[in-house]
Amino acid sequence: MTDDILVSTQDRIATVTFNRPRQRNAISYHGWLELRRIAMDLDRDPEVRVVVFTGAGDAAFSAGADIKDFEDYRDNSEKAVVYAEAFDGAMDTIESMSKPTICLIKGFCVGGGCELSMATDIRIAADNSRFGIPVARLSILVGYKEMRRLVQLVGPGNAAYILLSARLIDAQEAYRIGLVTQTVPLEEVSDVAYDLAREMVPLAPLSQARHKEILQTVLKNPGLKSLSEEEELLPFTNFDSEDFQEGRSAFIERRTPTFQGR
């Protein structure tokens, strides 16, 4: 792999940067495979507490899939299935990470880039951002998982508008419909995103990971029907952890807790 995707870690915050600014940080087929590996490695790294995804420069978070790959990887349905395995593998791995994930978005966040942002927990967008999934301009369909994430964030009506109009929307509109968590001026967006990440670093890792797990269960099974015994007991498991004892002691002693994730 080249330097198309950069990874750095500072103060327990990992940053994943899509580094093809001349191509609006488009992601190649091999880039999706690499992104999945990176997400898996960061999730296993005990020194990482929060992961930030962003794009190089101010012009684009990511334009999504690199159209130059289409001839080799997406010019018929058989190849498209293989491509989708790489794409979905990256999306699913990011979505299932046990650590909080933040998208720091500047400029264009379209196509697969927009779909990637929906797999993260929190999306903070600069006021120069533009969003859309204009696949109808190429006669391409989004997959079921991407559709599910989109509908969960913006509802079926807004999802239909985004897909059927193939329009790009600005940051304020994206915030209004729930596609992003917050929108701030371009010159402030990095500070806002990393301030939030730094606030998250000292929080209890077991709470973060298990809240994400409970959230996914509720989204996929809103009626909470036929939960396994493990799923039923999950909200109570932290009471048996060392971190709960540390948190309780720290509260009583009026000090900052030091959580170890166990």
H helices present in the chain, as ranges: 29-44, 70-73, 77-95, 112-118, 144-165, 171-177, 186-200, 205-220, 229-233, 242-253
Pairing, β 130-132 against β 182-184:
unpaired
Tokens of 252: 């009583």
- pTM higher than the cut 0.85: yes
- Along the 262 residues of the chain, how does pLDDT read in single tens digits? 469 999 999 999 999 999 999 999 999 999 999 999 999 999 999 999 999 999 999 999 999 888 887 777 777 888 889 888 999 999 999 999 999 999 999 999 999 999 999 999 999 999 999 999 999 999 999 999 999 999 999 999 999 999 999 999 999 999 999 999 999 999 999 999 999 999 999 999 999 999 999 999 999 999 999 999 999 999 999 999 989 998 899 899 999 999 988 8
Q: How far is CA 224 from CA 43, 152, 218, 232, 235, in A?
A: 27, 17, 7, 9, 13
> How far apart are alpha carbons 239 and 249 in whole angstroms?
13
Neighbours of 202 (CB within 10 A): 13
